Amino acid sequence: MTNATYDASSITAEKSKQEEIKDSCISKLIDLSEKQNELIFATRERLFKLERTQNRDARILCAMSIALGVVCLLMCLQFGGFTW
């Protein structure tokens, strides 16, 4: 009987160790997942800000190109001797 009791207690202790290891692994995975989510959201926020900046810069560049074209056209008309 003592061997059976010893075997049962060692099996129970081994199972509890396995459960502790399993719980530890699960909690580490959850922590890692939370960190990855934080990084993903931070990256998305930065990309959104960069996209807004890029859109603004593209609009400014288009407006300046159009203005330069109009100025060149007006100069050609003014100094080119164009008459109606």
Q: Where are the alpha helices (DSSP H) in the chain?
A: 2-79
**Is residue 76 pLDDT above 90, yes or no?**
no
Hey, CA dihedral for 54, 56, 59, 65, is it positive or negative? negative
Q: Over the stretch 47-72, which tens digit does the pLDDT of each residue have?
A: 999 999 999 999 999 999 999 999 99
Whole-number percent of the chain with pLDDT over 70: 88
Q: For residue 1, what pLDDT is reported?
A: 46
**What residues does each domain of the chain span?**
1-84
Q: For residue 9, what pLDDT is reported?
A: 74
Q: Rounded to an integer, what distance in angstroms lies between the CA atom of residue 27 and that of residue 22?
A: 9
Whole-model pTM: value is 0.54
Average pLDDT over residues 33-60: 96
Q: For residue 80, what pLDDT is reported?
A: 79
